[in-house]
């Protein structure tokens, strides 16, 4: 094994996405030496200018071309290899190609079990933190990411204005407003982490329409590439190592992690040592690494005495409706979404299910995306369908899916990657509550489309798109028997191990998760620095 730079770093961060980017920035600015290991390459404006719709959207491989995984619906089934997860494996992680909706969770999202009680077949849990504790960290995340939105109107926010004014109204927003107001709902501007004006050395949005599943060549869309990593590198305390595939965390005789072993860009074995280790590889990647790091102390995977590592995988529901309106609105111009309603979000068991969703105005982002919804149309019927692209609007609900013990990521017993390492195996089936929620919001969105004057409306399957919202697998909680991490996202079992990506979520909430990942990472980083200064981190 090659020994590269055998210094001992203060911190090793594995993964450079939303959570990892924050930790790298905050810890280097606190004076710590940090090595960051990222399995993918470093991409930049030159790569983002191509706007390859086939690769980035239809095949969904633009940001994870080497990804191999298997998928099944239930334990006992044989998982099949296929590209399933819309994740980013590059410097900046999935945060590079996100759609940039920057939501806070509602207060009851943090206390779903207390609010709704147990649900048969689900594994609901309260978060060990609440909305009040998270509020200042949401403020910090919104300021760092330059969230645009103007005055805040929806219930879960603090009532303050966002750092940046809202983007200009989309040409089709009046159609959405017409429909929802006719039904008595209150539309408001969606908070977006996309600059509506130049902000903190980042340009304003150029309205290309290439947001979700694309990198931003002008860095108007916030990500670690433009927020965090440049600042961290300027300190001189960051050693960033792209194309470094970590496959094992090695313990010392005391049961603490002493090193991360990884394969470099040439496939050669390397090892890096540090005092503290922070996982930020996403809900699949972090759990996968822990499960691969088996030892005599942890036969079922590192930090897995609870048996919860990899369990409770969640990735949202995306009920969606397309509708055609007589107005030619060219809705694809600009950021992904314009307005939303939250009137239908509050959990209400009288509807036949618990939890809820925010309903957003959106558009098929490119002609290729729209064409993919054409089903079996062919010939002149397909041509007619495609000609309507600039008249088509979309409604998408971000539906909360329930955590289920059997929904998990583990190690596939058969399939290996090009290095001979076991690929991750995804086991996931929606809970009956999820399917009822999906049907309810599909019907409500069809009603909105009709009220907006739709000439035609239809339900669209966007299931795979929801796999960009991966959560669970290393849930945090106060009980070490039922959770992997404590309230500070520190392992119950290994005291120098932390996890700061979406895997720490006990429940998913009915909003895009990224802002909560960022805010929680700021919260954890603050605690981490305080503990270090108190000499409580060995």
Residue ranges covered by each domain of the chain: 8-535
Q: How far is CA 465 from the centre of its chain?
A: 11
Distances (CA, A) of 327 to 176, 362, 388, 396, 411: 12, 15, 10, 20, 51
Look up the pTM and report it: 0.95
Provide the pLDDT for residue 20: 98
> What own/partner pairs with CB < 8 Å and gap ≥ 24 does 54-61 have?
54/368, 56/97, 56/213, 56/214, 57/213, 57/365, 57/366, 57/368, 57/369, 57/372, 58/368, 58/372, 59/83, 60/86, 60/213, 60/464
Provide the pLDDT for residue 374: 82
Q: At what angle do helices 432-451 and 173-182 cross, to 10 degrees?
A: 100
DSSP-assigned letters across all residues of 123-170: -----SS-HHHHHHHHHHHHHHHT-B-SS--STTS-SPPPSBPPPPPP
The owner of tokens 């159609």 is 175
Residue 442 sits at φ, ψ, to 5 deg, of: -60, -45
How do the pLDDT tens digits run along the chain, 538 residues long? 444 557 999 999 999 999 999 999 999 999 999 999 999 999 888 788 766 777 766 666 667 778 899 999 999 999 999 888 888 899 999 999 888 999 999 999 999 999 999 999 999 999 999 999 999 999 999 999 999 986 655 554 554 689 999 888 877 788 999 999 999 999 998 999 999 999 999 999 988 878 888 889 999 999 999 999 999 999 999 999 999 999 999 999 999 999 999 999 999 999 999 999 999 999 999 999 999 999 999 999 999 999 999 999 999 999 999 999 988 877 777 777 789 999 999 999 999 999 999 999 987 767 877 887 888 889 999 999 888 888 888 999 999 999 999 999 999 999 999 999 999 999 999 999 999 999 999 999 999 999 999 999 999 888 766 788 999 999 999 999 999 999 999 999 999 999 999 999 999 999 999 999 999 999 999 999 999 999 889 7
Name residue 358's beta-bridge partners.
398
Residues 6+ apart with CB under 8 A from 117: none
The CATH number of 8-535, from 3.90.1750.10, 3.40.462.20, 3.50.50.60, 3.40.50.300, is: 3.50.50.60
Provide the pLDDT for residue 420: 95
Provide the pLDDT for residue 2: 44
Residues 6+ apart with CB under 8 A from 212: 97, 98, 99, 100, 336, 365
Distances (CA, A) of 458 to 2, 92, 168, 215, 358: 57, 36, 28, 30, 19
Provide the pLDDT for residue 47: 80
């Amino acid at each position: 094994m090659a020994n590269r730079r055998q210094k001992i770093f203060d911190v090793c961060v594995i993964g450079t996405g939303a959570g990892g980017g924050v930790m790298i920035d905050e810890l280097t600015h606190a004076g710590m030496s940090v090595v960051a290991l990222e399995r993918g390459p470093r991409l930049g404006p030159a790569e983002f200018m191509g706007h390859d719709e086939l690769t980035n959207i239809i095949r969904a491989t633009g940001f994870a071309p080497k990804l191999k995984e298997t998928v099944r619906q239930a334990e006992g089934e044989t998982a099949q290899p296929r590209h399933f997860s819309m994740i980013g494996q590059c410097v900046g992680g999935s945060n590079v190609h996100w759609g940039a909706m920057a939501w806070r969770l509602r207060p009851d999202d943090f206390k779903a079990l207390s609010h709704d009680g147990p649900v048969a077949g689900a594994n609901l849990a309260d978060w060990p933190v609440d909305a009040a504790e998270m509020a200042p960290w949401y403020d910090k995340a919104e300021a760092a990411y330059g969230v645009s939105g103007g005055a805040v109107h929806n219930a879960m926010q603090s009532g303050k204005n966002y750092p940046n004014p809202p983007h200009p109204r989309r040409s089709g927003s009046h159609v959405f407003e017409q429909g929802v107001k006719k039904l008595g709902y209150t539309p408001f501007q969606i908070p977006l982490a996309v600059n509506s004006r130049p902000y903190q050395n980042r340009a304003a949005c150029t309205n290309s329409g290439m947001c979700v599943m694309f990198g931003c060549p002008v860095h108007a869309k916030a990500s670690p590439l433009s927020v965090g990593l440049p600042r961290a590198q300027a300190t001189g305390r960051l050693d960033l190592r792209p194309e470094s595939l970590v496959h094992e965390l090695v313990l010392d005789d005391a049961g603490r992690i002493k090193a991360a072993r990884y394969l470099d860009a040439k496939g050669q074995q390397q090892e890096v040592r540090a005092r503290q280790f922070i996982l930020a590889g996403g809900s699949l990647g972090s759990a996968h690494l822990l499960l691969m790091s088996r030892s005599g102390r942890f036969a079922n995977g590192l930090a897995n005495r609870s048996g919860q590592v990899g369990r409770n995988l969640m990735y949202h529901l995306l009920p969606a409706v397309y509708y055609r309106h007589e107005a030619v609105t060219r809705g694809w111009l600009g950021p992904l979404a314009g307005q939303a309603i939250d009137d239908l979000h509050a959990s209400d068991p009288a509807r036949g299910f618990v939890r809820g969703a925010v309903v957003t105005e959106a558009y098929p982002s490119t002609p290729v995306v729209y064409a993919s919804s054409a089903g079996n149309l062919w010939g002149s019927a397909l041509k007619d369908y495609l000609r309507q692209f600039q008249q088509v609007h979309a409604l998408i609900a971000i539906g909360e899916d329930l955590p289920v013990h059997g929904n998990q990521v583990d190690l596939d017993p058969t399939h290996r990657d090009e290095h001979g390492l076991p690929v991750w195996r995804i086991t996931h089936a929606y809970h009956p509550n999820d399917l009822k929620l999906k049907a309810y919001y599909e019907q409500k969105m069809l009603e909105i489309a009709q009220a907006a004057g739709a000439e035609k409306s239809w339900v669209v399957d966007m299931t795979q798109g929801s796999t960009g919202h991966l959560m669970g697998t290393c849930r945090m909680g106060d009980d070490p028997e039922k959770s992997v991490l404590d309230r500070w996202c520190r392992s119950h079992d290994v005291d120098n191990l932390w996890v700061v990506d979406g895997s720490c979520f006990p429940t998913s909430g009915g909003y895009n998760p990224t802002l909560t990942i960022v805010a929680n990472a700021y919260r954890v980083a603050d605690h981490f620095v305080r503990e270090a200064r108190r000499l409580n981190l060995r």
